[in-house]
Structure 1
Amino acid sequence: MRVYGYARVSTQEQAEEFDALNQQIARLKTAGATEILIDIESGRSDSRKQFNELLYLVQRNQVDEIIVTRVDRLGRSVITIHKAIEIFVKHEVNLRVLDAPVDPNSPFGWFSINQMSGLAEFESRLLSQRIKHGNNYFREQLKFCTPPFGYGKDENQRLVPNRNIHEKSGKTYFELGKLIIELILEMRSLKDVCTYIYVEYEIVFSVAGLRDWVKNLALQGHTAYFVKKKKGVNREPIINFDTHEALVSAATVEAIQQKLSANRRYRSSATSTRGDYPLSSLIKCAHCGGGMYRNFSRHKTKTEYMRCANYSKPGKYHCENSKCTRLREIIAQTITELCRHAPQLIDHLQSQSVTTVIVNTKEIENLSNELSVMRGLRSSNPDIIHAIAKIEETINSLSTPVKIVDRDAFENAQKQITIASQATFWESLDDLELRAALVEFVEKVEVNSSGSITPTFKLPLTRSSMRP
C-alpha cells in the first residue's frame, strides 16, 4: 500500500526548539507511513507546498492511505479541511487520524471531523485575536523589535542611542552612525562607503542595506510601524514623532536622497546596453557560483571583460576570484567547445528522446478492476491483503515496456546541432543574433581565477544539461 503521512507545524521555532515536528514524524512512521510530507506554515494558508502536493498525488490516484496525528494538521479552516476530505473520499483514500480515529465515509465520522475542524478554526482565530491585541499594546508602548545600526533598546524595549563602545574604532555605535551619514554625503557612492567602513571598522553593510538604513525613520527620532508595504496588505503607516534622540535630521536625509537620485540619473541611460551582449547572465564564477558583470577597459579600444560580481563585496560575501577575462575570449571558447562536442550532443539527444510506455492489455485491465474493488473493501483480513499484493505482483509481471522515439523532435534538434557545429554559422551572426543562438545551447559558462572557461550545454527542445 502507498501510505503517506502529513506533518505540519506553524513556525520554525516549533520545529526546532519544541521538537514538535520530529514528534509528529516519529508517530507517523510508527503508524506505518512510508512517505512523509512536511510543511512549516500556518494551517490557515491554502498555499502550503507539501499539502497541495499531497492533494495532487491523491487526485492522480497515487495514494491509498493518509495518516495525520490530528485533524488540525490538515488545516485550521473548516473549508480547507472539508475540501481535502472530499477529495480523499472521492478518490477512495483512507484517512487515519491517530489522536481521534474517525471514518469520513460514515455520517457520524463526517460529523465528528466537521466538529474538530470547527474547533481547529476557532482556536486559530482566537490565537490570531490575542496576537493582534498583543501587537497593538506593543505599538502603543512605542516598543521596537530590531533597532537599526546606531541604536539599542532600554528596559522598556524603546529605542535609545547605542552608547556601547565599538572595539576597533573606540567610538560609540551612535557616533559611528553619524560618521557613516557624513561619509555618504562626502563619498562618491554607497558602494564606496560600504567598502570604506568595512576596511576601516569591519562594519558590514550591503549597498541596498545602507540605502534602507538611511531611509529608516528611526534615525530621525521617530518610532514608526507599517512603513514598508507588503504585498496584499494595505495598511496606513503609524508614525510616532520625536520619541527618542535623532541621529540625522530630515534635511540631511533629503540631501542624501537627492544625491542618490543624481547618481542614478548620471549612471542610467535610455540607450543602455547592459545585459544586451552574448552570454548575458550565463557567465558564472566557478568559485562562488555568483554572476559576473561586464566592464570596459579604459583604453580607447574599450575592450569588454568579465569579473566576479562578488569580488568587490565585503565580509562573508567576498569572493577571491579577481580574474578579469575578456568577453570575446569566453564567447570564442564556448563556440569552439560547442562545435567540438556536437557529435556527443546528438548521441545524448538520441538517448534522451526515447520514452517508455506500458502496454495495458485486456488482462491487466481486468486485474486492475479487481484490485480497485478489493482495495475499496478496506479490510484488515490477512487473506484479502495477501490477495491484493498478489494481484499487484501479477500486474507488474504482465506490464510490457515499449520504447518509442519522437522522430520529429529528434530530427529537428539534430538539425539545429549540426548547423551549430559549423564555425561559419557563428561567424555570420551579429551580436544580437549570437546572443539569441547561444541561449538555445548554453546552460552556463563557468570562469575560474586562472581564466579557465568551462561551458555547460543544454539540448534544444529537451533542455537536458550536458557538460563536455
Structure 2
Amino acid sequence: MAKRIGYARVSSREQAENSHALEQQMQRLRVAGVEEIYSDVESGTKDDRKGFNLVMDLVRNKSVDEVVITRLDRLTRSLITLRKVLDEFRENGVNMKALDDSVDLSTAAGKFHLNMLGALAEMEVDRLSERVRHGWSHLRKRQVAMNPPFGYVKLDDKHCLDHEPFLCLLETQQERSRAEIAREIVETFFQEKTLRKCLRVINQKYGIHTFAHNQGQHRRGGRVARGVFRFSPAGLRGWLINPVLQGHLCYLRMQDGQRVPQTDWIIHYNTHPDQRIVSDEEARRIEAILQHNQQVRGFGSTALRYPLSGLVFCGECRGSCYSLTGQNNYHRAKRLGLEPEMNYYFQCKNWRTRSCNQKSAVRMENAEAAVIEALVNRAETISATAEVTEEQIDPPGLQALKAELAYYLNAPGSRAEAIVADLKQQIEAYRYNQQASTSLSSEQRDLLLQTFSDPLYWKTLTPEQKRELYRALVERVIVKDGQVERVDLRV
C-alpha cells in the first residue's frame, strides 16, 4: 500500500499573527488522507529545518510514495532549493502534491505549474527583502531612533530617557526608573571595573535571579534574567559602548544576527545631547577599562588573584593555565583545629577537558622563582629602560586619549576631524611630558640596577606590586611536565 505523508510549515511571524495557522494546515492534510505529518515553525528560506530534513530523509530512503503540502511555499521559498527537491523526488520515484496550487508531479502540466509557482514565490521573497532594505534606508536618512537600549524609550522618533517606574530596590523598596538604573549600572562599573562584578552587584541590589540557558533564541548560551534584564557580560559590554548612551544615534550595530565591527557603525552625533547617560569623558574611561581588561584578561577578576595569573601557558597545547589550591594536612588540621598548610599550583586548563595530555601541575613558587631569576638576569636592561616603562604600559590617562582617538577616527564631518587632530596633539604632549618626568640620572640608574639585581627585592614586593610589575615585564611563562620550560620577558 502506498505511503503518503504530509508536511506543514509556518514562519514565526505567521504563527504570531495566527496561532492556529499550523493546526489548520495539519487538519487539511489529515483530510487529504496522509498517514504521518511533519512540521516546522521556521522561515521558508532556511534549508536546515528539522521536519523538512526528516521528510527529505524519507524521500531519499524511498520510504514514502507521496508527500502532500497545502501550498508550494510551505515546502520552501527558494527556487534553488525547490529544484533540488524536485530532482530528488524524481530520482527516488516520489510524487509531490500541493492542495491549493493544483500541483501534481505525476503529470507534465503539474511539473510546469510547479516551476512557475516556485519562480513567483522566490520573486516575492526578493521583493520583500528589497522593501525591508529600502525601509531601513529611509529611516536612517530621516535619523529615526530605532531599538532604544536599556534606559531609553522612543518618543517622536527620538531617544528619550525612560523615567517610568520600573523596579524597586530589594532593601528599601524604593522605586527606580530604567534611566536611573542605567546610570547606576554605569557608576557600578566604574567602581568594580569588571563586567561580571558589576552585574553581580546590580543583580544582588535588585534581587534579580539569573537562569542558565542554551536553547531558543539565545543559542550561544550564557545567563539572563527572565523578564527584567538580559545582560550577560558580553551584553553589558555592548550596552556600555552603545553611542546612544552618549547622545548619538547609531545604526548597523547588528546585521543578519551578527555583531558588526565598531568601525563600520553608522553614527549621527549629538542627536539627543540632553538625554545622555554617559558623558564623553566617561565614555573614554569605559573604553580604557575595557581595553585594559582585554589586555590583562580581566581587570579585578577573582581568577587573577595571584601575581602570575594570566601569564602562565602550557608548553604542549599553548593554552593558558588555571590556578589550583591544595592542602597537605587537611584531615590532621581539621581534627586538631589547626590552620591548613596550603599549596598553590598552575595546571593547563585543557587537561580538565582532556584535550591536552599535560596533567602535571607546577607549583606557583617554582614558577615565580623562575620569573625572578629571569628578571635578575635582565636587571641591566630593565634599569636602562625604566624611564620609558610607564609609556610602554600606557597609563590610564594615555589609554583614555587613545580610546577617544580610536572612537573619532572613523567619524564623519569636519568636527570629528578637528577632534582627531586635537587628540593627536594631546597624545604627543602627554608622551613628551612622560619622557621628561621619567628621565633618570646615572646615579639613579645605578641604584635601580643594584635593586633589580637583588632577588630579595622581588620577593619582598606585595602581591599587588608583583602583579603590576609582572604584567609590565613578563610576556609569558611556559610550563611543561611539571617544570618551567622558559620565561619570555618584554624587555
TM-score (norm 2): 0.53
What is the Cα deviation at residue 214 of structure 1?
A: 0.6
Whichever residue aligns with residue 10 of structure 2, its letter is V
| Alignment check: 8 A CA contact 2:241 2:286 kept | no
What is the Cα deviation at residue 58 of structure 1?
A: 0.9
Cα pair distance change 1:59/1:303, threshold 3 Å = same
- Give deviations 1:211-257, integer Å, cap 9, x for gaps: 22111111111121112465789894321211112211233223223
> Equivalent of 1:183, from 178, 182, 188?
188
Alignment partner, residue 123 of structure 1: 124
**For the residues of structure 2 that align with 1:130 and 1:261, how far apart are their CA atoms?**
39
Q: What's the % identity of the aligned pairs?
A: 34
| Alignment check: 8 A CA contact 2:253 2:259 kept | no
Cα pair distance change 1:144/1:62, threshold 3 Å = farther
Q: Is 1:220 aligned to 2:246, yes or no?
A: yes
Whichever residue aligns with residue 118 of structure 2, its letter is S
| SS of residue matched to 1:431 | coil
Cα pair distance change 1:260/1:234, threshold 3 Å = closer
| Alignment check: 8 A CA contact 2:97 2:105 kept | no
Cα pair distance change 1:140/1:68, threshold 3 Å = same
What is the Cα deviation at residue 68 of structure 1?
A: 0.3
Q: Is 1:237 aligned to 2:265, yes or no?
A: yes
| SS of residue matched to 1:185 | helix
Whichever residue aligns with residue 128 of structure 1, its letter is S
**For the residues of structure 2 that align with 1:234 and 1:106, how far apart are their CA atoms?**
49
- Give deviations 1:412-466, integer Å, cap 9, x for gaps: xxxxxxxxxxxxxxxxx98369xxxxxxxxxxxxxxxxxxxxxxxxxxxxxxxxx
Alignment partner, residue 63 of structure 1: 64
Alignment partner, residue 80 of structure 1: 81
Alignment partner, residue 135 of structure 1: 136
1:19-30 equivalence runs, <5 A: 19-30=20-31
Whichever residue aligns with residue 220 of structure 1, its letter is Q
Whichever residue aligns with residue 288 of structure 2, its letter is Q
| Alignment check: 8 A CA contact 2:251 2:267 kept | yes
What is the Cα deviation at residue 272 of structure 1?
A: 4.9
Cα pair distance change 1:42/1:172, threshold 3 Å = closer
1:382-461 equivalence runs, <5 A: 431=359
**For the residues of structure 2 that align with 1:303 and 1:32, how far apart are their CA atoms?**
70
**For the residues of structure 1 that align with 2:203 and 2:115, how far apart are their CA atoms?**
59
Whichever residue aligns with residue 253 of structure 1, its letter is A
**For the residues of structure 2 that align with 1:167 and 1:115, how far apart are their CA atoms?**
56
* Structure 1: runs of 5+ lacking an equivalent: 277-292, 305-330, 332-428, 434-468
> Equivalent of 1:260, from 267, 283, 290?
290
| SS of residue matched to 1:159 | strand
What is the Cα deviation at residue 137 of structure 1?
A: 2.8
List 4+ stretches of structure 1 deviating above 6 A: 231-235
What is the Cα deviation at residue 185 of structure 1?
A: 1.1
What is the Cα deviation at residue 303 of structure 1?
A: 7.5
| Alignment check: 8 A CA contact 1:89 1:105 kept | no
Alignment partner, residue 325 of structure 1: none
TM-score (norm 1): 0.55
Q: Aligned pairs, how many? A: 294
Alignment partner, residue 201 of structure 1: 206
**For the residues of structure 1 that align with 2:106 and 2:206, how far apart are their CA atoms?**
68
What is the Cα deviation at residue 82 of structure 1?
A: 2.2
What is the Cα deviation at residue 187 of structure 1?
A: 1.9
* Structure 2: runs of 5+ lacking an equivalent: 169-173, 209-228, 328-339, 346-351, 362-491
Alignment partner, residue 310 of structure 2: 269
Whichever residue aligns with residue 121 of structure 1, its letter is E
Cα pair distance change 1:188/1:35, threshold 3 Å = same
